[in-house]
Amino acid sequence: MQSISRFHQFLKLLPRGAFDKAVERYDADRYCKSFDSWGHLVAMVYAQVSKSSSLRDIATGFNAQSNHHYHLGAGRLTHSTLGDANKRRDWRVFGDTARALMNMLKPKVRREYSDLLFLIDSTTVSLKGRGFDEWAAPTKVRSTQGLKLHMVYEHGSATPWWQSMTATNVNDLTAALPVPIERDATYVFDKGYYDFNWWHDIDAEGARFVTRFKMNVKLEVVAEREIVEADEGVILKDQVVRLTNRRPGGGRYNRYVEPLRRIEVHRPGDTPLVFASNDLNAPAAEIAALYKERWAVELFFKWIKQNLNIKKFCARTENAVRIQVMTALITYLLLVLEQAGKQGESSLRTRLNELTATLFERVGRREKTTESRRRRTELRAFKAGQMDLAFA
């Protein structure tokens, strides 16, 4: 029996049932029956793994492996058909598939990590020029235009936990409000999520948060906590405080009435950092260290942009860009899922590079070659041992 390709093995990790439900939910095959949603997903993941950056490159490379198409459940590509599908097929099919992959990873993460640390942030996918300006310019902000990818990232397992994609002018807090809060977890975020009522909602769900106070915050000091000797010079203040501004403006009412922690941390050559947390018990240094871990989500965004293709787009419509960003995230999640099921210390970058180099190699061929070499080595060693005995 012929073995499957490495790419086929990679795609078998996809939740086909959840994908088919998404296709049905959005009636995604309504206008593209000759090139169905599954074939579209296969082509776009192939584009990410093979590092193909144009429609023509994707079609040419994929068609060169036509003997693998049947097993992949896909057919021959034309760049025009792929371009039409990127323009017309509902991108939410791919977004829901990324969400289904996240849900597949969550049980394993919960089993292996008792203290979940969620980092919340966003990154901008900058899109300027002909084809982009028509739809991206109306929602541009002062610094850029394009789309914004919002992410909840579990730090210990390096796993994306929740995502959404919006225009660049959508406030980070607005995008974060629908995030489900998990009891006993810790949420770390910057001042882009500065909203006392949202902090109250996190606290009410039994979760911990660590963020930063703004300089103009109005509060009263309830208690001064002693700074341990080992933290002197680094931790400048450790206080229990209450917010005093019940009506911060805009007709809003501040529902956060519980005490908060205010921790001031020295920064050489700069103004001190002032942290806010609802954790009244943990050491001040621990809370400061938790905020420092927030940079891990920045490293995740950097990894995606450096190793997968969300900088050069094969089409310029908004729908096509969203599909390409989502298939990059799908590819990342498949790599994480594959790594979770295998032994070894290979990094995701190494795993991606190996996949790119052996994309249509038959699974088992390499293992068979390695085993043959091992047996030949053992045979040579055995014969050498026999010769040594003969001359002894």
**pLDDT (tens digit per residue) in 91-149:** 999 999 999 999 999 999 999 998 999 999 999 999 999 999 999 999 999 889 999 99
Average of per-residue pLDDT values in the chain:
90
For CA atoms 247, 249, 254, 259, the dihedral sign is negative
Higher-pLDDT residue of 68 and 276 is 276
Please report the pLDDT score of residue 334 as a whole number. 96
Residue 68 has pLDDT above 90, yes or no: no
User: The sheet that has 159-167: what strands, in order across it?
Assistant: 159-167, 146-154, 117-126, 186-188, 208-212, 270-277, 260-267, 235-243, 219-224
In a domain, residue 273? The reply is yes
**pLDDT (tens digit per residue) in 71-97:** 888 889 999 999 999 999 999 999 999
Check if the beta carbon of residue 248 is closer than 8 Å to that of residue 254: yes
In a domain, residue 373? The reply is no
In a domain, residue 262? The reply is yes
- Quick one: average pLDDT of 219-226? 96
- Quick one: average pLDDT of 342-361? 86
The boundaries of the domain holding residue 221 are 199-280
Residue 345 has pLDDT above 70, yes or no: no
Check if the beta carbon of residue 182 is closer than 8 Å to that of residue 109: no
Please report the pLDDT score of residue 55 as a whole number. 95
Residue 2 has pLDDT above 70, yes or no: no
Position 233: which residue type? Answer: G
In a domain, residue 216? The reply is yes
- Quick one: average pLDDT of 205-222? 96
**pLDDT (tens digit per residue) in 232-273:** 999 999 999 999 988 776 678 899 999 999 999 999 989 999
Over pLDDT 90: what percentage of the chain? Answer: 78
Cα dihedral: 25, 31, 32, 38 (round 10) = 0
For CA atoms 326, 327, 332, 336, the dihedral sign is positive
Give the integer Cα–Cα distance in Å for 261 and 282. 10
362: DSSP letter: B
Residue 307 has pLDDT above 80, yes or no: yes
Check if the beta carbon of residue 336 is closer than 8 Å to that of residue 158: yes
Q: Among 61-70, 118-127, 350-359, 367-376, name the one with the lowest average pLDDT.
A: 367-376
Check if the beta carbon of residue 258 is closer than 8 Å to that of residue 203: yes
In a domain, residue 244? The reply is yes
Residue 371 has pLDDT above 50, yes or no: no
Exposure of 169 in the CB half-sphere (CA atoms within 13 A): 9
Q: Please count the helices (runs of H) and the strands (runs of E) in the chain.
A: 15, 9
In a domain, residue 103? The reply is no
- Quick one: average pLDDT of 24-45? 92
Residue 391 has pLDDT above 90, yes or no: no
Exposure of 213 in the CB half-sphere (CA atoms within 13 A): 23
Question: Is 122 strand, coil or helix?
Answer: strand
Please report the pLDDT score of residue 363 as a whole number. 81
Please report the pLDDT score of residue 389 as a whole number. 41
Higher-pLDDT residue of 186 and 365 is 186
Please report the pLDDT score of residue 343 as a whole number. 62
In a domain, residue 172? The reply is no
Q: Between the CA of residue 72 and those of 27, 236, 249, 331, what are the distances in Å?
A: 22, 60, 57, 16
For CA atoms 200, 183, 121, 215, the dihedral sign is positive
**pLDDT (tens digit per residue) in 162-200:** 999 999 999 999 999 999 999 999 999 999 999 999 999
Retrieve residue 96's tokens. 């829901």
Please report the pLDDT score of residue 340 as a whole number. 83
Name the domain count of the chain.
1
Give the integer Cα–Cα distance in Å for 9 and 360. 10
Over pLDDT 70: what percentage of the chain? Answer: 91
Give the integer Cα–Cα distance in Å for 368 and 378. 15
Please report the pLDDT score of residue 344 as a whole number. 62
